[in-house]
Amino acid sequence: MTLEISLTRDPAHIRHGSNIGQPLTRTDGVLKVTGKARYAADNHPPGMLYAVIASSCIARGRVTSLDVAAAKRHPGVIDVMTPAHKPELAEDPDAKGNPFAFRMELLQSDEVRYANQAIAVVIAETLEAATEGAALLSPRYQVEIARVGLDAGEAYAPPVVGIGNPAEVRHGDIDAGMAAASKLTDATYETPAQYHNAMEPHAIVAVWDGDRLFIDTPSQGMGFAQMRVAGLFGISPANIHINSPFLGGGFGSKGLISGPQVLGIMAAKLTGRPVKLVLRRGQMYGPVGHRPPTRQRIRIGTDDAGALTAINHEARVTTSSFDDFYEPAADASHTLYASPAIRTAHEAVRVDTGTPLFMRAPGEATGSIVLESAIDEAAFACGIDPLEFRLKNYAEVEPTTGKPFSSKALRQCYARAAERFGWAGRPLQPKQMRDENGFLVGWGIGTATFPAIMFQGNARAVIRADGKGVMETGAHDMGQGAWTALAQISADSLGLDFDQLTFRSGSSDLPDAGIAGGSGHTATVGAAIHNAGAAAIAKLAELATTDERSPLFGAGNAGVVARAGRLHRRDDDARSESYAEILARAGVAEVEGRGTGAADAAAQSQYAMHAHGAVFAEVKVDPELGQIRATRMVGAFAAGRIINPLMVQSQLYGGMIWGLSFALHEEAVMDKRSGRILNANLAEYHVPVNADVPPMEVITVDEHDPHVNPLGIKGVGEIGITGSAGAVANAVFHATGIRVRNFPIKIDELVMGLAR
The residues assigned a catalytic role are 718
Across the beta sheet with 240-243, the strand order is 77-81, 118-124, 49-55, 275-278, 203-209, 212-216, 240-243
Nearest-angstrom CA–CA distance, 432 and 422: 16
The verdict on whether omega for the bond into residue 328 sits within 30 degrees of 0, i.e. cis, is no
Residue 245 phi/psi, 5-degree rounding, is -75, -30
* Residue 666 three-state SS: coil
Residue 26 near residue 484, CB atoms below 8 Å: yes
Residue 637 phi/psi, 5-degree rounding, is -135, 135
Nearest-angstrom CA–CA distance, 519 and 523: 8
Type and span of the H or E element at 655: helix 645-664
Nearest-angstrom CA–CA distance, 431 and 442: 7
| DSSP code for 726 | H
Type and span of the H or E element at 620: strand 610-621
Type and span of the H or E element at 576: strand 572-578
In this structure, the number of other CB atoms found within 10 A of the CB of residue 624 comes to 11
Within 13 A of 618's CA, how many CA atoms are on the CB side?
21
Nearest-angstrom CA–CA distance, 144 and 674: 9
| DSSP code for 296 | E
| DSSP code for 409 | H
* Residue 569 three-state SS: strand
The CA angle 703-512-275, to the nearest 5 degrees, is 125
Nearest-angstrom CA–CA distance, 181 and 306: 9
Nearest-angstrom CA–CA distance, 643 and 133: 50
Pairing relationship of beta strands 165-166 and 160-161 according to DSSP bridges: antiparallel
